[in-house]
Amino acid sequence: MLRLAGVEKRLSDKDIMKGLILENEDVFCESECEEIMRVITRKPCINQYKCNVVIEMRGEVFKKAIRKGKLFLNLVATYVSEYMETVQCFKCWRFGHTQKRCGRMSRVTSVENNIEAGMIVVKGLLIA
């Protein structure tokens, strides 16, 4: 995924896609862009009139955009970077899934169950 920094909030997803294709012909081929890229989300920016747009791209187009470092949108240079979102579960504290999809017992619950059963675990040792 690709992050475009400082895009005007007033632009619709269609306007962003169209502008990128028209103003960056060295990166995008107009015929195939509809299939290989789409706007995923918008993230807040320091400037209240702008936002950071996350776009999903595939293949060589993504590599070209990253190599170039900036793309033009409405005659303004927009800086480009790779976007990776990290998901962490707040139940088991592992990465790659959320609490809603977690199948493990939470660490707090397992400690409480051990205390109720009369067992105390100290640095990996079980004391009954």
**Rounded CA separation 107/85 (Å):** 24
Q: What is the pLDDT of residues 93-124, one digit of tens each?
A: 888 788 888 887 655 555 555 555 555 555 45
pLDDT band for position 7 (50/70/90)?
very high
Domain positions in the chain are 2-82, 88-123
pLDDT at 52: 92
| 2-82 classified as CATH 3.30.70 | yes
This prediction has a pTM of 0.62
Question: pLDDT tens for residues 43-84?
Answer: 998 999 999 999 988 788 888 888 889 999 988 999 999 888
